[in-house]
Amino acid sequence: MHSSPWRRGPLSRNPYYYTAFHVLRMPPSVVQRHAVRQHVLQARNLAAAMPQAHRICGELVTESEINEASEILAGGPSRLWEELVAHRPEEYITPGLQRLRERLHSLAPEAPMADDGPPLRLPALLRRWMEHLLSQQVGETTDSELVSASTYRPIPPCGGGT
Protein backbone atom coordinates (compact mmCIF):
# COMPACT_ATOMS: atom_id res chain seq x y z
CA MET A 1 0.00 0.00 0.00
CA HIS A 2 1.41 3.32 -1.05
CA SER A 3 1.62 6.03 1.61
CA SER A 4 0.45 8.80 -0.67
CA PRO A 5 -3.29 8.73 -1.35
CA TRP A 6 -2.67 10.14 -4.83
CA ARG A 7 -1.00 6.96 -5.99
CA ARG A 8 -2.90 4.37 -4.01
CA GLY A 9 -5.86 3.78 -6.29
CA PRO A 10 -6.43 3.65 -10.03
CA LEU A 11 -5.99 6.87 -11.97
CA SER A 12 -9.60 6.68 -13.03
CA ARG A 13 -10.64 7.45 -9.45
CA ASN A 14 -10.25 10.95 -8.13
CA PRO A 15 -8.57 10.22 -4.77
CA TYR A 16 -10.08 13.29 -3.16
CA TYR A 17 -13.46 11.51 -3.13
CA TYR A 18 -11.99 8.28 -1.78
CA THR A 19 -9.95 9.34 1.21
CA ALA A 20 -9.97 7.02 4.20
CA PHE A 21 -12.18 9.62 5.88
CA HIS A 22 -14.76 9.22 3.13
CA VAL A 23 -14.60 5.43 3.30
CA LEU A 24 -15.11 5.41 7.07
CA ARG A 25 -17.53 8.38 6.98
CA MET A 26 -15.35 9.97 9.62
CA PRO A 27 -14.41 13.65 9.89
CA PRO A 28 -10.66 14.35 10.06
CA SER A 29 -11.21 15.93 13.46
CA VAL A 30 -11.53 12.44 14.99
CA VAL A 31 -8.19 11.43 16.47
CA GLN A 32 -8.99 9.35 19.55
CA ARG A 33 -8.20 5.71 18.97
CA HIS A 34 -11.48 4.41 20.32
CA ALA A 35 -13.43 6.94 18.25
CA VAL A 36 -11.64 5.85 15.09
CA ARG A 37 -12.41 2.22 15.96
CA GLN A 38 -16.03 3.15 16.44
CA HIS A 39 -16.21 4.62 12.94
CA VAL A 40 -14.53 1.55 11.49
CA LEU A 41 -17.08 -0.66 13.22
CA GLN A 42 -19.99 1.45 12.03
CA ALA A 43 -18.70 1.43 8.45
CA ARG A 44 -18.26 -2.36 8.54
CA ASN A 45 -21.73 -2.87 9.96
CA LEU A 46 -23.24 -0.60 7.35
CA ALA A 47 -21.40 -2.34 4.51
CA ALA A 48 -22.55 -5.72 5.80
CA ALA A 49 -26.15 -4.86 6.65
CA MET A 50 -27.00 -2.28 3.99
CA PRO A 51 -24.29 -2.29 1.35
CA GLN A 52 -26.37 -0.09 -0.95
CA ALA A 53 -26.37 2.64 1.67
CA HIS A 54 -22.63 3.21 1.62
CA ARG A 55 -21.48 4.44 -1.75
CA ILE A 56 -18.86 6.83 -2.98
CA CYS A 57 -19.49 8.37 -6.40
CA GLY A 58 -22.11 5.71 -6.96
CA GLU A 59 -19.77 2.80 -6.20
CA LEU A 60 -20.37 0.48 -3.28
CA VAL A 61 -17.74 0.70 -0.55
CA THR A 62 -16.25 -2.75 -0.03
CA GLU A 63 -15.06 -4.51 3.08
CA SER A 64 -11.47 -4.46 1.82
CA GLU A 65 -11.66 -0.70 1.27
CA ILE A 66 -12.87 -0.28 4.83
CA ASN A 67 -10.02 -2.46 6.09
CA GLU A 68 -7.51 -0.45 4.10
CA ALA A 69 -8.95 2.83 5.38
CA SER A 70 -8.77 1.63 8.97
CA GLU A 71 -5.10 0.74 8.49
CA ILE A 72 -4.42 4.17 7.00
CA LEU A 73 -6.05 5.99 9.88
CA ALA A 74 -4.55 3.77 12.55
CA GLY A 75 -1.64 6.17 12.81
CA GLY A 76 1.77 6.86 11.36
CA PRO A 77 2.72 8.61 8.13
CA SER A 78 -0.29 7.30 6.21
CA ARG A 79 -2.66 9.19 8.49
CA LEU A 80 -0.72 12.40 7.94
CA TRP A 81 -0.80 11.89 4.16
CA GLU A 82 -4.53 11.41 4.42
CA GLU A 83 -4.89 14.65 6.33
CA LEU A 84 -2.93 16.39 3.61
CA VAL A 85 -5.58 15.59 0.99
CA ALA A 86 -8.61 16.29 3.17
CA HIS A 87 -9.97 19.68 4.11
CA ARG A 88 -8.64 20.44 7.54
CA PRO A 89 -10.96 20.14 10.53
CA GLU A 90 -12.84 23.20 11.61
CA GLU A 91 -10.68 23.43 14.74
CA TYR A 92 -7.72 24.35 12.60
CA ILE A 93 -8.24 28.08 12.53
CA THR A 94 -5.45 30.42 11.53
CA PRO A 95 -5.71 34.18 12.07
CA GLY A 96 -6.21 34.64 8.36
CA LEU A 97 -8.96 32.04 8.18
CA GLN A 98 -10.62 33.57 11.21
CA ARG A 99 -10.63 36.98 9.59
CA LEU A 100 -12.07 35.58 6.41
CA ARG A 101 -14.79 33.77 8.28
CA GLU A 102 -15.67 36.82 10.29
CA ARG A 103 -15.93 38.84 7.14
CA LEU A 104 -17.99 36.25 5.37
CA HIS A 105 -20.36 35.76 8.28
CA SER A 106 -21.10 39.30 9.22
CA LEU A 107 -23.09 41.95 7.48
CA ALA A 108 -20.85 44.81 6.44
CA PRO A 109 -21.44 47.85 8.61
CA GLU A 110 -20.59 50.06 5.70
CA ALA A 111 -22.37 50.01 2.37
CA PRO A 112 -20.81 47.96 -0.42
CA MET A 113 -18.43 49.59 -2.82
CA ALA A 114 -18.60 49.58 -6.56
CA ASP A 115 -15.69 47.86 -8.32
CA ASP A 116 -12.60 49.93 -7.57
CA GLY A 117 -14.82 52.89 -6.81
CA PRO A 118 -14.85 55.21 -3.82
CA PRO A 119 -16.83 54.25 -0.69
CA LEU A 120 -20.52 54.90 -1.08
CA ARG A 121 -22.28 57.54 0.91
CA LEU A 122 -25.77 56.13 0.84
CA PRO A 123 -28.65 57.62 2.70
CA ALA A 124 -29.82 55.43 5.57
CA LEU A 125 -33.11 54.73 3.82
CA LEU A 126 -31.40 53.45 0.68
CA ARG A 127 -29.04 51.30 2.72
CA ARG A 128 -31.94 49.66 4.56
CA TRP A 129 -33.67 49.07 1.24
CA MET A 130 -30.55 47.44 -0.11
CA GLU A 131 -30.16 45.23 2.96
CA HIS A 132 -33.78 44.19 2.54
CA LEU A 133 -33.09 43.27 -1.07
CA LEU A 134 -30.03 41.31 -0.04
CA SER A 135 -31.90 39.34 2.58
CA GLN A 136 -34.47 38.44 -0.10
CA GLN A 137 -31.67 37.30 -2.36
CA VAL A 138 -30.32 35.10 0.37
CA GLY A 139 -33.53 33.12 0.73
CA GLU A 140 -32.89 30.47 3.31
CA THR A 141 -29.64 32.10 4.40
CA THR A 142 -29.73 34.23 7.51
CA ASP A 143 -28.54 37.81 7.74
CA SER A 144 -25.46 36.72 9.63
CA GLU A 145 -24.27 34.93 6.52
CA LEU A 146 -24.20 38.05 4.42
CA VAL A 147 -20.74 39.12 3.55
CA SER A 148 -18.72 42.24 3.11
CA ALA A 149 -18.57 43.22 -0.50
CA SER A 150 -16.06 45.91 0.24
CA THR A 151 -13.15 43.57 0.81
CA TYR A 152 -13.44 40.45 -1.29
CA ARG A 153 -13.90 39.96 -4.99
CA PRO A 154 -14.05 36.24 -5.63
CA ILE A 155 -14.19 34.79 -9.10
CA PRO A 156 -17.82 34.84 -10.18
CA PRO A 157 -19.60 31.77 -11.55
CA CYS A 158 -19.26 30.99 -15.23
CA GLY A 159 -16.40 33.42 -15.59
CA GLY A 160 -18.57 36.54 -15.72
CA GLY A 161 -18.15 39.80 -13.80
CA THR A 162 -14.86 41.15 -12.45
Q: Which is nearer to other proteins, 62 or 151 (CB)?
A: 151
For 73-85, give the DSSP string: TTSSHHHHHHHHT
Alpha carbon distance 15, 54 (integer Å): 17
Instruction: Report the residue from 52, 115, 124, 125 that binds other proteins according to the rule CB under 8 A.
Output: 115
Coil/strand/helix, residue 96: helix
Size of the site for other proteins (CB under 8 A): 69
Please give the radius of gyration of the chain, using alpha carbons only, rounded to the nearest integer: 22
Instruction: Report the residue from 52, 64, 137, 142 that binds other proteins according to the rule CB under 8 A.
Output: 137
Q: Which is nearer to other proteins, 51 or 76 (CB)?
A: 76
Residue 151 contacts other proteins per CB under 8 A: yes
Q: What are phi and psi of 44, to 5 degrees?
A: -65, -45
Q: Which is nearer to other proteins, 44 or 120 (CB)?
A: 120
Q: Are 3 and 80 in contact (CB under 8 A)?
A: no
Residues forming a β-bridge with 8? none
Residue 58 contacts other proteins per CB under 8 A: no
Contacts of 65 (CB under 8 A, 6+ apart): 18, 23
List contacts with other proteins (CB under 8 A).
Answer: 4, 6-7, 11-12, 14-17, 21-22, 25-27, 31-33, 36, 75-77, 79-81, 83-88, 90, 92-97, 99-100, 104-105, 111-115, 117, 120, 122, 126, 130, 133-134, 137-138, 141, 145-149, 151-157, 161
